[in-house]
Structure 1
Amino acid sequence: MILQALKDYYDRKVADPDGGIAPEGFEYKEIPFVIVVDEQGDLVQIEDSREQDGKQLRAKAFLVPQAEKRASGVKANLLWDNAEYIFGLSLHSKPERVAQMHNDFVNRIKMLGVEHDIGVNAVLLFLSSGLLLSALEQSKYAAEIKEANPFMAFRLNGDNILVCERKEVVAKIKSVPIIGNQGVCLISGETEVLANLQPAIKGVRGANTMGGNLVSFNLDAFNSFGKTQGANAPIGAKSAFAYTTALNYLLRKDSLQKIQVGDASTVFWSEKKSHFEDDFSSLFDGSHKDDPDHLTNKVKALFKSVEMGVFPVEDNKNHFFVLGLSPNAARISVRFWQVATIAEFSQRIVRHFQDLELVHAPHQHDYLPLWELLRATALLGKSENIMPNLSGEWMSSILAGLPYPETLFQAVLRRIHAERTVSYPRAMILKGCLNRKARFKNQTQEEVTVALDKENKKPGYRLGRLFATLEKIQEEANPGINAPIRNRYYSSASSTPASVIPILMRLKNHHLAKLEKGRTIFFERLLGEILSEVNTFPSQLNLQDQGLFAIGYYHQRQAFFTKSEYSNQEE
C-alpha cells in the first residue's frame, strides 16, 4: 500500500507540467560547480552555482541522469560526478583507483553513443586534452574544489542548460532498454524487468549520508529459498524508480510536505491536488518565527471548516497519506502509516486540539506545536532526550483518532515528579490523555474541563486543588519565599497524600495567622468547599488520579491569577 501510494503520487506529479519532479532516468541534484567548455573542448570557466541560504551556501539543483548506486566499487555517473571522477584528482583515493574512476567516467560517456552531439563532443575533447589539472588550476575555485571534492557537471558555452539536459542526450537516455530478469511487479501487478537493487532514500534525519532503503535484503538469512536481493520482493525497475523518486522529492531539503516529529521524518501527500497538502505541516510544526500566531490561525480556520461543514466535495473522497520514517542502520524503518480522507483527518486533528485546549496565561498561545509538547516530556526540555518511539506513537494516535499512548502520560508524570513543575504544555498533555481515554471507554462526560471545575468530585482532582490552595496561602504569608511547599512535598502529596497532606494542613494554620482577616476568611471558605467532597486522605493515588492531581493543581493556580472570585479579597 505504501509503495503503491508513492508510485501513484509520482505519476500525478510527473503528469503535471509544474510538478517539479524528475522524469524517469533522471534526478534533481545539487551541483555546486559547473564546468563551461567551448565547442573545441577548451575550458571557458568554472561557474559557482551556490547562493546564500541563511548562514550557508547552497548549490543549485540541476536535472541530471540518475546517480549510480555505489558503495566501495567504481561506478561513474553520466556527465556529472565528483572532482576525482572528472579530473582524475587524487584527493581521497589512491592514484591507481582515481585513474580507474576517471577512465570509467570517460567510457560511460562514450558508451552513450551520442558523440555527434556538439555538447557531448566538447566534453570528450576536454577530457582527452591531457590538460585537465592545468585547466582546473586556472579557476579561482581550484583550492576549494581540491579540498571538498564536490559534484560537478558540464555546460556548453552559450547554452543555458547542462550538457546532460541537451535534447539528444535526454532522448538517448530514455531509449536505453532496461536489462534484467522479468517478473510480476508487486506494485503495478504487471510483468516488468525487476530491480535488483533499488535507489537509495535520502533526507531522513539521522540516516546514513549515502541514504537508506525501504526494501533491502543484505543477509542470506533474510532471503527466500533460491532468491537473492530484489527477487525476494519483486519490484519493477520503473516502479522502483517511481516510488523512490516520489519519496526523495517529499524528503528534499526545502519540502513543504515534510515535518520532523521527534525522531520521525514525516511526509504527507494527497491522492489528488489539495490545499490540505499545504496546511498540514502548519498544524503540527508551527515553526513560523515571523508569525507567532500562525498555528493558532490555522487551527481556528480548520475548526471553522469542520464546524460549518464547508469542505469541498472532493475532500470527502480525496485520500490523504501520512508516512513516518526513521533511520535503522542502512535501512529506513516505517514508524507509522495512516490513510484516510482529508475530511476524516481534519475532524481527527480538530478533536486533538480540542482535547488539549486548556486555560492559560495571557502571553501563552492557545495551541502548541507537537515538537514543543514533546519537549515537555524530556529531561531538560531537550529534543534529543525525548523517549524513542514516543513521537511516532503519539502522531499515529492523533491521526487515527485513538487514545494517546500510555507512555506519553507516564513520561509527563515522571517529569512533573522530578522537576515539581506542572507547566502549561504538561497539563495540556495530561488533559488530552485523560479525555481521550474516557471517550474510548464510551463515557459521556469528559474527565477534565478546559478551566477550573468546581463540580469535579474526583479525589485526585480535589487534592490537587487543595495542594495549590495550601501553596498559595504559604506564598501570601511569606512573600518572596524561595522554597514553596511544592519543591519539597509535591511528589509525595500527589502519590501518597495521607503521609503529607495532614502535615500541610497543620502548617497552613500558622500561615493563615499572618494574613489579613479578609484573606483568611476567603481561604477558609475555599478550603471548606474543596474538602467538602474529601472524606479521607487516600494512602495512595493511582496514575490516573496523579494526573488529575496535577490538573486540579494547575486549574486552581490559574484561577488564583485570573480576575474572578479568587482575586476578590473581600469574598
Structure 2
Amino acid sequence: LQFLIVINEQGQFINIEDTREKVGNKLIGKTFLLPRSVGRSGSKSYATTFLLWDHIGYLLGLPTEDEKSIKQHQTWLKALSELPEELTEDVGVKAVLLFYKNNEIAKAIASPMIKECLKTKQCNMTFRLVSDIPVPCRKRVREYVVKNLQAAGTDSDQEGKVEKTGICLVTGEKGIIVRTHSRTPIGKDAKILVGFQKNSGYDSYGKEQGYNAPIIKSTEFAYVTALNTLLKSKAQRMLIGDASTVFWSEKQSSFESDFALFFKEPEKDDPNAGTERVKALFESAKSGSYREDDGNNRFYILGLAPNVARIVVRFWQVGTISEFATRIRQYFNDFVIVKPSKEPEYYSIWRILVNIAVQDNSENIPPNLASDFMRSILNGTPYPTTLLQAVIRRIRSDTENRVKPIRAALIKAYLNRYYRFYPNQNYKEVMMELDANQTSVGYQLGRLFAVLEKIQEEANPGINATIRERFYGSACATPVTVYPNLIRLKNHHLAKLENKGQVVNFERLLGEIMSNLRDFPAHLNLHEQGLFALGYYHQRQKFFSKRSND
C-alpha cells in the first residue's frame, strides 16, 4: 500500500499518510498482510473490488474525469453497504462507514497529498485509525477473512452463476473451483498465472474461464500467496533477462540463501560476496555437500515473465542441492579462460548477456535467450545455438575490442559443453589458454590472423587501425577471400622490421601455424567461427603475457 487515509473513530478525516520508502531510485509502498485480491479483467472489471482496500479509483473515485473511476467508486460504496454485521461492529470498519456517511471524503480529496496519490501508478490505499494499524489488518477483520476465504474480495462479476465443485488438478481434492485467479505483481504490472479469456475461443465442452483447468479455492489461495511472498523477497528472487526467478529449498539451507549470489552482479557494498560463494561451491565438490547442507535436500527454481495478459513460465527446475551444485560448478568451470588480471574472476549472467546484446545494452537482451541460457545451466545441457550466434554476431559487428575475455569465455563454454554432450565430433576440447596442437582449422586461422595483426602493429607502432578493423569479419567467415592478400601484406610489414631476430621468430611462428593448414577454406561454419575467435584471442593473450614477462 502506498498511502493510508488516517481517520478517527468518528470517521473524521485527519490526513493522508505516505508509506513509501526509497529503494534504489524507486519509491516503494509498505507491505501489509491484507485480505487477498481477486481477479478482475475485461469491460466489467470495475464491478469487482477488494475487502477494505483497493486503489484510489475505488476509495475516492479519482480521477473524477475518468468515467471508470466513478463506476469503481460506486462498486466500493455498494460493497461497504453489504458488509456483514460481524465486520461492521468493528470500531475501525464502523469509522470507515462514518467517513463516507458524513462526506469526509471531500476533505480527503482536497488534501495536498492527493497530487502525489494521482501521480503514483496503481495507487493502492486503505484506512487507518489514529495510532492504530490499517483497518484491514485489525483482528476482527483477519478472523473474518480466515473464516470466510471466499469473502476476501467481492467478485460482483459472477452474473448470478452458481459456484461449481470439482476435482483440483493440483491436489486431487474436491472443492469449489475458482472461476478467475488472483493477480500476481510481476514487472511493472500485476497479472494472472492461470487464466482463460471469456468468449474468445478457449471455452470448450461448455466450460468457461477457470473451469477449463479446475483448481479449488484453497489451492489457488495457497499458490498465489506463496508466489507473491517469494516475489517480494529479495533473498529468494533475482532477475534473469526479463524473468523474475524465485527459488526455495525443501528445508532451510545455505544453498538457498547463497543461490542468487552465484549469478547476480556483485553488490557495491560487498563486491566479493559472489566470488566467496563460488569458491565455497568448488570446495563442496570435495565434501559432497554445500556448506554443511544436506545434499539430498530438494531445491526448486521458477522463472516467470510478464506477457500481454498472463504470466509466462520461462523455466521450472526441480532437483537436489547436490545436483544443482554440481551443474553450477560445471558452468563456472566451462567459463575459465586465460585473461587479464583486471577482469573479474567470475562473470555474472547479466554481464555475460550484456556483452552479447546490441550496443552492450541490457534492454536489448533477447528475453528467451536469457531464460534458455539459465535453463541449460540448471539442466547441465548444451547452451542454445542462439547464444553462439549472438556472440559471433557481436564480435563481427564490433570494430574495436572484438573478442573480449568474457566473449571468448562464453564461446569456450558453449563449444566444450556441446562436444561433451555430443562426443562423436571431430573436435578436440578447447583449453583455457593457447593450444598449438588444436586440430580445428578455424582455431589455427584465428591464430594466424592474430600473428598477422601483431606483425602489422610491430611494423607500424602507434597505428590507429589494424587488419582487425577491416578484415576480421571476412577472415572468420570466408577465409579464402582475404588470407592470400593478408599473406602478401605480411611480407611488406616484415620488411619494415629492423629487429631481424623478431623477423625470424615471426617467420617460425607463421610456419608452425601454416603447417596445420592445407588451404584456406571458402567458408567456416558457426562452430569454426567460434574457434576462430578463440584461436585469435588465445594467440593475442600469449603475446600480451610474453610482453609482461619481458
- TM-score of the aligned structures, taking structure 2 as reference length: 0.89
CA drift at 1:377 = 2.0
User: 2:407 matched to 1:426?
Assistant: yes
Q: Given that residues 250 and 267 in structure 1 are in contact (C-alpha distance below 8 angstroms), is that contact kept between their aligned partners in structure 2?
A: yes
Q: Given that residues 194 and 230 in structure 1 are in contact (C-alpha distance below 8 angstroms), is that contact kept between their aligned partners in structure 2?
A: yes
SS for the counterpart of 1:297 is helix
1:532-551 matches, cutoff 5 A: 532-551=515-534
User: 2:80 matched to 1:106?
Assistant: yes
Instruction: Specify the code of the residue in structure 2 equivalent to 1:458.
Output: S
Which of 562, 565, 571 is equivalent to 2:545? 562
User: 2:234 matched to 1:223?
Assistant: no
Q: Given that residues 348 and 401 in structure 1 are in contact (C-alpha distance below 8 angstroms), is that contact kept between their aligned partners in structure 2?
A: yes
Aligned to 1:268: 247
CA 1:283/1:520 → structure 2, altered by over 3 Å: closer, same or farther?
Answer: same
User: 2:97 matched to 1:115?
Assistant: no
1:347-386 matches, cutoff 5 A: 347-386=326-365
Aligned to 1:247: 227
Aligned to 2:124: 151
Aligned to 2:453: 471
Aligned to 1:162: 134
Residue deviations 1:161-187 (CA, integer Å, cap 9, x gap): 222222222112222264832111111
**Structure 2, unaligned runs of 5 or more:** 151-161
Once structures 1 and 2 are overlaid, which stretch shifts more, 142-151 or 177-186?
142-151
Aligned to 1:256: 235
Q: Given that residues 494 and 549 in structure 1 are in contact (C-alpha distance below 8 angstroms), is that contact kept between their aligned partners in structure 2?
A: yes
State how far apart, in whole Å, the 2-side matches of 1:549 and 1:376 are.
18
Q: Which runs of 4+ in 1 moved over 6 A?
A: none
CA 1:146/1:364 → structure 2, altered by over 3 Å: closer, same or farther?
Answer: closer
1:507-546 matches, cutoff 5 A: 507-515=489-497, 516-546=499-529
Q: Given that residues 112 and 172 in structure 1 are in contact (C-alpha distance below 8 angstroms), is that contact kept between their aligned partners in structure 2?
A: no
CA 1:538/1:210 → structure 2, altered by over 3 Å: closer, same or farther?
Answer: closer
CA drift at 1:427 = 0.9
SS for the counterpart of 1:562 is helix
Instruction: Specify the code of the residue in structure 2 equivalent to 1:281.
Output: A
Which of 401, 412, 417 is equivalent to 1:436? 417
CA drift at 1:339 = 1.3
Aligned to 1:397: 376
CA 1:328/1:165 → structure 2, altered by over 3 Å: closer, same or farther?
Answer: closer
CA drift at 1:443 = 6.5
User: 2:166 matched to 1:183?
Assistant: yes
- RMSD of aligned residue pairs (Cα, Å): 2.5
CA drift at 1:124 = 1.9
Residue deviations 1:121-141 (CA, integer Å, cap 9, x gap): 22222221123213553x442
User: 2:58 matched to 1:78?
Assistant: no
CA drift at 1:280 = 1.3
State how far apart, in whole Å, the 2-side matches of 1:118 and 1:382 are.
54
User: 2:38 matched to 1:58?
Assistant: no
**Structure 1, unaligned runs of 5 or more:** 1-30
Aligned to 1:12: none
CA drift at 1:265 = 2.4
State how far apart, in whole Å, the 2-side matches of 1:280 and 1:446 are.
33
CA drift at 1:87 = 3.6
Aligned to 1:7: none
Aligned to 1:496: 478
State how far apart, in whole Å, the 2-side matches of 1:438 and 1:232 are.
44
Q: Given that residues 462 and 552 in structure 1 are in contact (C-alpha distance below 8 angstroms), is that contact kept between their aligned partners in structure 2?
A: yes
SS for the counterpart of 2:34 is strand
Residue deviations 1:223-245 (CA, integer Å, cap 9, x gap): 33121111111101110111122
Instruction: Specify the code of the residue in structure 2 equivalent to 1:238.
Output: S
CA 1:227/1:119 → structure 2, altered by over 3 Å: closer, same or farther?
Answer: same
Which of 171, 177, 196 is equivalent to 1:194? 177
User: 2:26 matched to 1:43?
Assistant: no
Q: Given that residues 214 and 333 in structure 1 are in contact (C-alpha distance below 8 angstroms), is that contact kept between their aligned partners in structure 2?
A: no
Once structures 1 and 2 are overlaid, which stretch shifts more, 228-237 or 536-545?
536-545
Once structures 1 and 2 are overlaid, which stretch shifts more, 241-250 or 354-363?
241-250
Once structures 1 and 2 are overlaid, which stretch shifts more, 240-249 or 526-535?
526-535
Aligned to 2:215: 235
CA 1:37/1:542 → structure 2, altered by over 3 Å: closer, same or farther?
Answer: closer
- TM-score of the aligned structures, taking structure 1 as reference length: 0.86
Q: Given that residues 196 and 202 in structure 2 are in contact (C-alpha distance below 8 angstroms), is that contact kept between their aligned partners in structure 1?
A: no
Q: Given that residues 213 and 330 in structure 1 are in contact (C-alpha distance below 8 angstroms), is that contact kept between their aligned partners in structure 2?
A: no
Q: What is the percent sequence identity of the aligned residues? A: 45
Instruction: Specify the code of the residue in structure 2 equivalent to 1:507.
Output: L
State how far apart, in whole Å, the 2-side matches of 1:439 and 1:296 are.
26
Q: Given that residues 262 and 392 in structure 1 are in contact (C-alpha distance below 8 angstroms), is that contact kept between their aligned partners in structure 2?
A: yes
Aligned to 1:132: 105
CA drift at 1:191 = 0.9
State how far apart, in whole Å, the 2-side matches of 1:117 and 1:503 are.
89
Aligned to 1:173: 145
CA drift at 1:533 = 2.3
State how far apart, in whole Å, the 2-side matches of 1:328 and 1:194 are.
25
Q: Given that residues 114 and 169 in structure 1 are in contact (C-alpha distance below 8 angstroms), is that contact kept between their aligned partners in structure 2?
A: yes
User: 2:267 matched to 1:293?
Assistant: no
CA drift at 1:425 = 1.8
Once structures 1 and 2 are overlaid, which stretch shifts more, 449-458 or 230-239?
449-458
State how far apart, in whole Å, the 2-side matches of 1:193 and 1:519 are.
84
Q: Given that residues 90 and 98 in structure 1 are in contact (C-alpha distance below 8 angstroms), is that contact kept between their aligned partners in structure 2?
A: no
Residue deviations 1:429-472 (CA, integer Å, cap 9, x gap): 11011101111123699521111112223222111111101100
CA drift at 1:157 = 2.5
Which of 236, 258, 262 is equivalent to 1:283? 262
Aligned to 2:308: 329
Aligned to 2:441: 459
Residue deviations 1:493-549 (CA, integer Å, cap 9, x gap): 222223322221221122122221222222122222222322333333222222111
Q: Given that residues 59 and 73 in structure 2 are in contact (C-alpha distance below 8 angstroms), is that contact kept between their aligned partners in structure 1?
A: no
Once structures 1 and 2 are overlaid, which stretch shifts more, 165-174 or 68-77?
68-77
